Amino acid sequence: MSDHSLDPKDWDQFRSEAHDLLDHCIDLMQRAEERPWQHVPEGLQEQYAIGQTKARNADLMTRLRDEVLPYHAGNTHPKYWGWVQGTGMATDVTASMVAAVMNSNCGGRNHGANYMERAVIDWTCRKMGLPETAFGVFVTGTSQATVQAFSAARVRALGSDVRASGQGGVRLTAYAAAGVHNATKKALELLGVGSVNLRLVPLSEGKMNIDALQTMIAEDRAEGAQPFLLVGTAGSVDLGLYDNLHHLADVAAAENLWLHIDGAFGAWTRLAEEPYRSLSDGIERADSIALDFHKWMYVGYDSGLCLVRDGAELRAAFTARPVYLDGKERGVASGEPWFCDYGIDLSRGNRAIKVWMSLETLGEEAFTQAITRNCRLAKRMADEVRKHPEMALAQDPVSNVCVFTADAALSLEDQSALNVRIAVELQENGEAVFSTTKVGDVEMLRAAIVNHRTTEAHIHEAVQAVADLAAK
């Protein structure tokens, strides 16, 4: 190798440092329980400033150990249930290493990573019950998947001319249950549909009210709007609720709407045992599904997937082959299809390998068990909450989310203040991470369990810790 390259001058030294670092990293993963979220110290950004004298003189490996690795976000810990954050897996370490060494650009062309991505997409389509025509593309997460799926929906509604001409004066309208994740709103903003044209349909008994939906669609048609999109939620971010996806699919068929399912985490009940599996029944009728592997499939960030029932419809929204991206019959530029024709990104890394490694190492059944166990743990948390007479559940957990208030005897305002204080104190003392969400007028403690490291003992300890703080 020529010595003006940026490769290490001393490969032996690099090798030995990398081996030590790998050992250290695996130790940290193995001891996840000892490593809750750490308060970020004053001046960390300055410490990280590029090229400062200290950095140049210090041993980088020591800095990684002392200044970088300690300040993780905490979501690797078995008692982290805030927001909806995956825990990561040991296979991420080896998968990321292989991905780095290969440094594949998965936008297109003919190389192994694209075949692996297609294999993982294929598996996911089968798990979701989508037909042979289905295809998709790995993305950063459900937020990006949603934009891409809605783009395809808009092309179906307005024709592929919309790519050139823009939407013009047409008023497209979309429908989703109140409680839909903000990713839907953001995607409609980005596409120029406008979030005022997202109609939020009220819930009844935790599901989108179908009568109200039909009334809204009729009203919008009467006003000259063009309803084009129905968004179903499989696993709502606040309470883990599921729309009745069969009912939604019936309406979508009758009203000629694109049916998109936000299944960011909840789509994975497809792998769970009953009664959880059937929560997502009907997902196989979707025109598109957005889901994440980095939440309830536990793999490291980032790894989301946009799936479309008819891959050709996704392609119609994105395909573009300027001359510099011409495919060829043979050589590096062969290997159709190219992922750049199915989404926003041209250059893109190998996100599928983390999923592939975890499934090939552990087998699908291990995920069935872990996902089912997370649902049972949410139920278990609810049982623990019921043992404390001062506490109250927002509702019985439907899937993997448990929401409760620490002291229901207090005024609504005082409850909210107490719950927020408890959440913050438990985060700061390293005991457990709950986030909070508003249910009615009360901000409550919320655990979304997408954590393969959590045990029943962790659940018991965390609820007891809430009780102890509430009693203070």
Ligand X SMILES: *Cc1c(COP(=O)(O)O)cnc(C)c1O
| φ and ψ of 72, to 5 deg | -75, 170
Cβ 238 to ligand X shortest distance, Å: 9
Lay out the site mask for ligand X across 62-91 (x = CB under 6 A, - = otherwise): ----------------------x-------
Cβ 406 to ligand X shortest distance, Å: 24
Lay out the site mask for ligand X across 85-124 (x = CB under 6 A, - = otherwise): ----------------------------------------
From candidates 262, 284, 345, 384, binder to ligand X by CB under 6 A: 262
- The CA distance from 461 to 451, in Å, is 16
Cβ 77 to ligand X shortest distance, Å: 19
Query: Whose Cβ is closer to ligand X: residue 142's or residue 148's?
Result: 142
Cβ 241 to ligand X shortest distance, Å: 10
Lay out the site mask for ligand X across 363-402 (x = CB under 6 A, - = otherwise): ----------------------------------------
Indicate whether 451 belongs to the interface with ligand X (CB under 6 A).
no
Q: Which residue shows structure tokens 């990573």?
A: 113
Stretch that binds ligand X, among 22-30, 138-146, 252-260, 388-396 (CB under 6 A): 138-146
3-class DSSP state of 306: strand
Lay out the site mask for ligand X across 228-247 (x = CB under 6 A, - = otherwise): -------x-x----------
Cβ 180 to ligand X shortest distance, Å: 8
Cβ 234 to ligand X shortest distance, Å: 8
Stretch that binds ligand X, among 101-109, 125-133, 198-206, 261-269 (CB under 6 A): 261-269
Q: Two tokens at 288?
A: 């598109």
Query: Whose Cβ is closer to ligand X: residue 237's or residue 432's?
Result: 237
Indicate whether 141 belongs to the interface with ligand X (CB under 6 A).
yes
Largest Cα span, the chain: 74
Q: Which residue shows structure tokens 């007028």?
A: 441
- The CA distance from 189 to 286, in Å, is 22
Query: Whose Cβ is closer to ligand X: residue 108's or residue 141's?
Result: 141
Beta-carbon contacts of residue 433 (< 8 Å; ≥ 6 apart): 36, 37, 74, 75, 77, 79, 80, 81, 82, 426, 427
Total binding residues for ligand X by CB under 6 A?
A: 13
Lay out the site mask for ligand X across 177-216 (x = CB under 6 A, - = otherwise): ----x-x---------------------------------
Q: Counting Cβ atoms within 10 Å, is residue 54 exposed (0-12), middle (13-18) or buried (19+)?
A: exposed
Stretch that binds ligand X, among 62-70, 92-100, 121-129, 141-149 (CB under 6 A): 141-149
3-class DSSP state of 261: strand
- Residue 305 DSSP one-character state: E
**Element (DSSP H or E) covering residue 392:** strand 392-393
Query: Whose Cβ is closer to ligand X: residue 174's or residue 183's?
Result: 183
Closest CA to 208 of 246, 264, 170, 173: 246
Query: Whose Cβ is closer to ligand X: residue 262's or residue 287's?
Result: 262
- The CA distance from 252 to 201, in Å, is 14
Interacting positions 277-306 with ligand X (CB under 6 A):
292, 304
Residue nearest to ligand X as judged by C-beta position:
141
b/e burial code for range 378-387 (CB count within 10 A of at least 16 → b): bbbbbebbee
- The CA distance from 330 to 129, in Å, is 34
From candidates 87, 104, 124, 143, binder to ligand X by CB under 6 A: 143
Indicate whether 343 belongs to the interface with ligand X (CB under 6 A).
no
From candidates 157, 264, 307, 442, binder to ligand X by CB under 6 A: 264
Cβ 4 to ligand X shortest distance, Å: 41
**Any bridge partners for residue 138, and if so which?**
305
- The CA distance from 361 to 367, in Å, is 11
Per the CB < 8 A criterion, the answer to whether 204 and 237 are in contact is no
Query: Whose Cβ is closer to ligand X: residue 237's or residue 257's?
Result: 237
| φ and ψ of 326, to 5 deg | -55, 135
Q: Which residue shows structure tokens 């009912």?
A: 247
Cβ 145 to ligand X shortest distance, Å: 8
Stretch that binds ligand X, among 139-147, 275-283, 351-359, 362-370 (CB under 6 A): 139-147
- The CA distance from 217 to 5, in Å, is 62
- The CA distance from 328 to 333, in Å, is 5
From candidates 138, 150, 258, 265, binder to ligand X by CB under 6 A: 265
- The CA distance from 276 to 398, in Å, is 8
Cβ 86 to ligand X shortest distance, Å: 10
Cβ 298 to ligand X shortest distance, Å: 14
- The CA distance from 166 to 176, in Å, is 24
- The CA distance from 448 to 63, in Å, is 34
Per the CB < 8 A criterion, the answer to whether 377 and 449 are in contact is yes
Q: Where on the chain is the footprint of ligand X (CB under 6 A)?
A: 84, 141-143, 181, 183, 235, 237, 262, 264-265, 292, 304
